[in-house]
């Protein structure tokens, strides 16, 4: 799949990542990677950090998003810039998707 230009969502299987959470790795190359994270209501993303720059966009749903100890509510069309090694977490208020774009790509998401 790597370096394919077009990635059609329906052709990518979900990978279960936790209780009420699953993801699809979408288009990427070594410099940038898009990942859809689907959350059921109440599902959480535990606090974590990584050396990759991350941009979060909300295609649908509503979430509490916590960045370096500051929690805000984000919903459709909102975006968050998560700098390298910043601690972040989330909790789903209304079922939906968080789109993460990483730079560079997440090698650990590819088997």
Give contact residues for a second copy (rule: CB under 8 A).
3-10, 26-29, 31-32, 34, 36, 53, 55-57, 59-60, 65, 67, 70, 72, 74, 76-83, 99, 101, 103
Nearer to a second copy, 38 or 43 (CB): 38
Distance in Å, CB of 91 to a second copy, minimum? 16
Nearer to a second copy, 13 or 77 (CB): 77
Distance in Å, CB of 2 to a second copy, minimum? 10
N residues, the chain:
111
> Which residue is listed with tokens 């979408």?
26
CB atoms within 10 A of CB 61: 19
Distance in Å, CB of 46 to a second copy, minimum? 19
Distance in Å, CB of 40 to a second copy, minimum? 17
Beta bridge partners of 89: 66
Beta bridge partners of 18: 21
Beta bridge partners of 28: 33
- The bridge status of strand 44-48 relative to strand 88-103 is antiparallel
């Amino acid at each position: 799949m790597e370096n394919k230009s077009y990635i059609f969502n329906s052709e990518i299987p979900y990978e279960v990542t936790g209780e009420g959470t699953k993801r699809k790795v979408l288009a990427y190359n070594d410099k940038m990677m898009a990942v859809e994270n689907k959350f059921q209501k109440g599902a959480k993303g535990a606090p974590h950090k990584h050396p990759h720059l991350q941009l979060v966009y909300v295609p649908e749903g509503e979430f509490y998003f916590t960045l370096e100890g500051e929690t805000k509510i984000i919903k459709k069309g909102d975006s968050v810039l998560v700098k390298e090694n910043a601690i972040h977490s989330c909790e789903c208020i209304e079922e939906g998707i968080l789109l993460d774009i990483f730079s560079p790509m997440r090698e650990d998401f590819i088997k």
